Structure 1
Amino acid sequence: MRLVRSILVIASLLAAVPYPAAANAAGPATTSTAARPTTGAACTDPAYQTFGPASITGAIVGATTHNGFAYVVTRGLKPPILAEIDLATRRVVRQVPLPDGPLAGEPEGGWATTVSGGQIYVGTYPVPDLYRFDPATGTVTHIRSFGVNGGFVWSLTTAPDGTIYAGTYPDGKVWEYVPATGAVRNFGVLATGERYVRAVAADATNVYAGLLDKAKLVAINRTTGAVTTLATGTGGFATVGVGNGRVVATSGSTLYDVRPDGTDLRTVGLGELTSDMLLVEPDGTVYLSARPTGAVLRYRTGDPAPTPLGTPKEAEETRRLVVENNRLTGFSGSGGMWTMDPATGATEFTDLIAAGLTPGSERPQAIRLEGPDELWVAGHFSVTVRDLRTMRQRRIWVPGEPKAIVSRGDTMFAAMYPSGEILAIDRTSLTLRSLGYLGHGQQRPWDLEYDPISDKLLVATAPLGASLQGALSIVDPDTGAKQVYVNVIPDQSLMSLSLDVAKRIVYLGGDVRGGGGTPPVRTAASVAAFDLRTRTVRWQVTPVAGYQTFQDLKVQDGLLFGVYKRNASWFRMNLATRTITHSGPLPGYGELHVHNGTVFTATYFGGGNVYALGTTAKLVATGLGDEWYTNPQLAFEPGSWNAWALIGRDLARIRLDPACPTVTI
């Protein structure tokens, strides 16, 4: 009853918010209004106000079809919702929550779905659990867990005899589940150091797994467990399918087509595209969806290159491809469903919120206040802009996750994951313009600043996948021209940057783990001072031995403040001597902000806290919750000690005056 009630509460919160029938790249803005925040800076005034969900989403992860219906799983909601869609009417006809399992942590979505014996199976994250939904009764059953909180069931598939196979993270294993008996086993270590089994497919003899870190496509004999490597790619294998005696998979910008025994390996280039979803039909026809364009391609063994069929929605991600009634059906990550005639490319797109999917409150990516009255909150596939004078809201679609946002005049810029694209968003019309992609394997942007002297954007990035080399990118906000300085801190990715405008130095914070999946060759994260005039590193230091990952850096009046991620702590460094003068532990990590001459950090864990950093870390607020998706952030109002932030998943305005008593939520 509690879970059903949570859906009704979300629905009531959103009853007054209209949503577009179909969002496009320009993003028809949606609006709503709420009460104007009150002002007041005295310590005796109310310390905080909340204003409802900070970011609303109808995004989905897993999707599948069965017997004339589609089943999709929401992304980022607690609990996640399994929605049933009538494919004939294109309407949502039933929604059920996935209950919390017995282990620590709560599911927030399900990347993996499959059908066996007329039952719908869902694999969840960030607890790697398996659920079963019975369409006949509407009941949901928790089957088992494949690990602990922080794990994923990335992929599911069903063999011809009904046996289910799951690919998991972070153990990098393939698991077997037999619905008829409940028997479970796994096939052990598939490649030393592997964490992700990103894709699985099965036939009567083998289960095929795409490994992300080690870039291997393997076949596992379902009877003996023997593992055979079919191909080694240039990047991680993210898709795999089997049919008509061929195994087809994609790694980076290459399609691999091979027999199940590893013979007759063929490779086909995809140009500058990669594939996020793949379907192999029984006759051997292969359909692929492509990133970053959102195009759909068709391939058959022997083709020199795939044939473009059309683009259902520009720059969209695809979560599933199926063929229903001779038409190709796809499901879009932002919360859409489309059908395409493969012969003509004609497409019909349906927004799932407009079709009846109940949206809900998600964990935001970033927040920024422009002037006194314009607040931007970035979510998954969307950005919400609020006019704080009227509390009117406008919500637009964007192609992915804006990990960082910054402004220049009348334009907002967003650094996007997982594409590494830089977007320009007109602050008045909310129309989008692409500045292109960073390239060089740099698809995970972590920090973004604007340099008013050179009129350039500065981007700190990590690679996506098994590489240690991050980059500092310098981007022209008008033309999109880029200079990408890969491996600027040797053998480290970049988590943070902080610009000293007057001295023309940008300080960079590293991470020895890089994109993950490759053992570090350095033992501690470094700070580097990059000279924007000479485009060279002036110096590099390692502040704390053994601490591997920075979360953020901020320069202020000749001092450099830093927050570590994996060894949660802070420090203050004298830049003249490059020595740490003050430091201490923190309960978690988050971003640094300078306001009224004071350096603040908001942190994950410990219930959500805000500290003012100086010679000590002074607690100024506690109990905010741990509901950020990327990193806890603050957006301070000019001329006051008030900041916009989150309390739980609600937008909040909080007094953070270090002279006042600690704000306790």
Structure 2
Amino acid sequence: MAALAAVLATVLLTTAPAQAATCEPPTVERFGPASVTGAIVGASVHEGKAYVVTRGQKPPVLAELDLSTRKVVRSVTLPDAPATGEPEGAWATAVSGGKVYAGTYPVPDLYSFDLATGEVKHLRSFGRNGGFVWSLAAAPDGTLYAGTYPDGRVWEYRPDTGAVRNFGVLAAGERYVRAVAADADNVYAGLLDKGKLVAIDRASGAVRELAQGPGGIGVVAEHGDRVLAVSGTTLIDVRKDGTDLRRVPTGAGSLDAIVSTPDGTVYGTTRPDGAVHRYRTGDEALTRIADAPSPGDETRRLALTGEGALVGFSGSGGMWTLDLPSAKAEFVDLIEAGLPSGAERPQSMLLVPNRAVYIGGHFSMDVRDLRTGEHRRFRVPGEPKDLVRRGDKIYAAIYPSGQIIAIDMRTDEVTSLGFLGHGQQRPWDLEYDPRTDKLLVASAPLGARLDGALSVVDPDTGQMDVYEGVIPDQSLMSLSLDPAAGVVYLGGDVLGGGGTPPVRTSASVAAFDLKTRTVLWQVDPVQGNRTFQDIKVHDGLLYGVYKRNSGAWIALDLATRTVRHQGALSGYGELTVHRGRVFASVFFGGGNAYELGTEAKLLATGLGDEWYTNPQLHFEPGSWKAWALSGRELARIGLDPRCPQS
């Protein structure tokens, strides 16, 4: 981190043009890691120990916990492999033959950790940078099976020989094998895009469909002579030969983790509430047995201990045990248990001038108090994709639940306004309309759907008016409010949830009247550009940055609905208007900041590419200093537009 800071300082501090007498040097002040995390993805339990892998840290940490003492007893890091890209976590873990195996992202690689020697090895890759090993399972003979993205394959890995094979296309167009389980004869795979549960013969490679779910399948488990799978709000329970198919409603939520016990009882946790449920084949519904040990959290793995307790691992970075007879739970924060924490890629940022900077992380919020310099951190129920202020409260749009929460700036108390529903689990953009005193949310669906939604939310009552398909056949990535006109402008994405082929070829901009709740007009500014990353209205123009076209940007004349200016940036990111000027902060090319006018003027480079969602700038009122990131550090950067780089 120190080396990175030195490089950034050199790049940024040498960019001031000497000929501009009024220019201040583009100074960079750094304040340490912007978002600190102990979040985890993969988890496994073996012989009284638990093995978890961190999310977001580079390099990822694999830690061993003693379940009796609830303390981390040793940890290792997963080294960067020769392939392009760096691992940031491992969703997939399995134990086989005295080793813990971890499948990483965003490079789909396989690692082993020897429990006896502590040695870590990189074994092989299952694809290129940008891929995931989503799931791992060990068959009784020790053979490993991995489910991957974006090729939608199941891979076989033989630890004894290192031999690898895959079983080909499991369903046309499938990208995600989100969950796998294995027995002596078959591998069972859950397909996220196509919602299919399939069985693959380990010897012949023949593929059989066991069930079609109503939505994507994200959880699969063996259950004696049966297989369990979770598809949306349905639990699929079917014999391994495909007979006696049962579909059991899970209620308002979906199961995110299940464990099958030898006596035929199944335990599971529901998302988004985190409550614990029980099920047996033949039941027509789940039985709730305990409130959430970690409310609003995602459960990464469930297991039973030798003492008859249920142990769960929370995505935010926690471990809990539930005494089944009493339904009493105990929660342990993994950082407090000794898990090495580190800087993660932030999700969002908000400046409250002269008071604090809020940084949204993975199931956490970091706050730097500008009055005292102190730092604090508290939990939130997911990833805050965007933040906005209204009075003494901050509102956050949360993934993966589609929940809108309020945070009291005086107490850090978190309350829920409710969930967008309608399948809208990816809220991308959030603004506050002071004229109507409403929150405006742009969202995309999760899974194989195209239509996103504009939601109008009452911050006092939680009342939500959700307008699905407001741009037909497109999800919404961004919105920009013109409060004087009472119009919100919407930026579309023809790919929708990403799980089904698009039917449009060009992303649209639409104008939505907040009084009549109707679309006034819709236009496709540039043919062939499929996704708006961000839009911002200023002085009669709508500025837009496209995501998938090498940083293409436009300025659309709202009166004529024609493109007045356009050009290219180094990548995509977010727009902001400050002191009558439009700025863009974008990925790639080192991480750059621009001013947009008739052309794009480069103001700074070397900011890094360490945002999780989109690079942002948050200017202090009356100044050219903006809060942003320098690498993964919180930084305040001078961005005087009178001083562009030559």
Q: Is residue 150 from structure 1 mapped to residue 113 from structure 2 by the alignment?
A: no
Shift of 1:157: 0.5
Change (3 A) 1:524 1:195: same
The residue correspondences of 1:216-231 to structure 2 (distance < 5 A) are 216-231=196-211
Counterpart Cα distance in 1 of 2:182 and 2:325: 28
RMSD value, Cα: 1.5
The residue correspondences of 1:153-232 to structure 2 (distance < 5 A) are 153-232=133-212
The residue correspondences of 1:460-475 to structure 2 (distance < 5 A) are 460-475=442-457
The answer to whether the 8 Å contact 1:608/1:622 transfers is yes
The answer to whether the 8 Å contact 1:244/1:283 transfers is no
The residue correspondences of 1:233-272 to structure 2 (distance < 5 A) are 233-272=213-252
Q: Could you list the runs of 4 or more consecutive aligned residues of structure 1 that deviate by over 4 angstroms after TM superposition?
A: none
Counterpart Cα distance in 2 of 1:550 and 1:318: 33
SS in 1 for 2:573: coil
**Aligned with 1:327 (options 292, 309, 319):** 309
Q: Is residue 519 from structure 1 mapped to residue 504 from structure 2 by the alignment?
A: no
Cross-structure match for 1:318:
299
Q: Is residue 373 from structure 1 mapped to residue 355 from structure 2 by the alignment?
A: yes
Counterpart Cα distance in 2 of 1:42 and 1:237: 60
**Aligned with 1:490 (options 472, 475, 486):** 472
Counterpart Cα distance in 2 of 1:491 and 1:407: 31
**Aligned with 2:612 (options 629, 653, 657):** 629
Shift of 1:459: 0.1
Shift of 1:661: 4.4
Shift of 1:372: 2.8
Counterpart Cα distance in 2 of 1:534 and 1:152: 44
SS in 2 for 1:522: coil
Shift of 1:43: 2.6
Q: Is residue 435 from structure 1 mapped to residue 447 from structure 2 by the alignment?
A: no
Shift of 1:42: 6.2
Shift of 1:204: 1.1
Cross-structure match for 1:24:
none
Q: Is residue 592 from structure 1 mapped to residue 575 from structure 2 by the alignment?
A: yes
Cα deviation code 1:434-485 (max 9, x no counterpart): 0000000000000000001111000000000010010000000011001000
Query: Which consecutive unaligned segments of at least 5 residues does structure 1 have?
Result: 1-5, 11-40
**Aligned with 1:340 (options 302, 315, 322):** 322
Cross-structure match for 2:29:
49
Change (3 A) 1:42 1:357: farther
Cross-structure match for 1:662:
645
TM-score (norm 1): 0.93
Q: Which amino acid aligns with 1:377?
A: I
The answer to whether the 8 Å contact 1:43/1:661 transfers is no
Q: Is residue 653 from structure 1 mapped to residue 624 from structure 2 by the alignment?
A: no
Cα deviation code 1:489-531 (max 9, x no counterpart): 0000000000000011100000000001100000100000001
Counterpart Cα distance in 1 of 2:23 and 2:93: 52
The residue correspondences of 1:572-583 to structure 2 (distance < 5 A) are 572-583=555-566
**Aligned with 2:588 (options 569, 591, 605):** 605
Shift of 1:662: 3.3
Shift of 1:357: 0.8
Cross-structure match for 2:373:
391
Cross-structure match for 1:38:
none
Q: Is residue 571 from structure 1 mapped to residue 554 from structure 2 by the alignment?
A: yes
Cα deviation code 1:359-382 (max 9, x no counterpart): 100100011111233211111111
SS in 2 for 1:591: strand
The answer to whether the 8 Å contact 1:368/1:406 transfers is yes
Shift of 1:44: 3.6
SS in 2 for 1:207: strand
Shift of 1:284: 2.7
Counterpart Cα distance in 2 of 1:344 and 1:214: 40
Q: Which amino acid aligns with 1:63?
A: A
Aligned length: 627
The answer to whether the 8 Å contact 1:372/1:638 transfers is no
The answer to whether the 8 Å contact 2:618/2:627 transfers is yes
The answer to whether the 8 Å contact 1:246/1:284 transfers is no
Structure 1 stretch 328-337 or stretch 42-51: which is displaced more?
42-51
Change (3 A) 1:45 1:617: closer
Q: Is residue 644 from structure 1 mapped to residue 624 from structure 2 by the alignment?
A: no
Shift of 1:244: 1.3
Counterpart Cα distance in 2 of 1:299 and 1:160: 25
Cα deviation code 1:67-96 (max 9, x no counterpart): 221110010000000011111111101010
Counterpart Cα distance in 2 of 1:84 and 1:375: 34
SS in 2 for 1:653: strand
Q: Is residue 132 from structure 1 mapped to residue 112 from structure 2 by the alignment?
A: yes
Shift of 1:653: 0.5
Cross-structure match for 2:271:
291
Q: Which amino acid aligns with 2:104?
A: T
Aligned-residue identity in percent: 67
**Aligned with 2:44 (options 64, 67, 72):** 64
Shift of 1:387: 1.6
Change (3 A) 1:635 1:236: same
Cα deviation code 1:340-360 (max 9, x no counterpart): 122221111111111111110
Counterpart Cα distance in 2 of 1:158 and 1:451: 52
Q: Is residue 416 from structure 1 mapped to residue 403 from structure 2 by the alignment?
A: no
TM-score (norm 2): 0.96
Cross-structure match for 1:34:
none
Cross-structure match for 2:53:
73
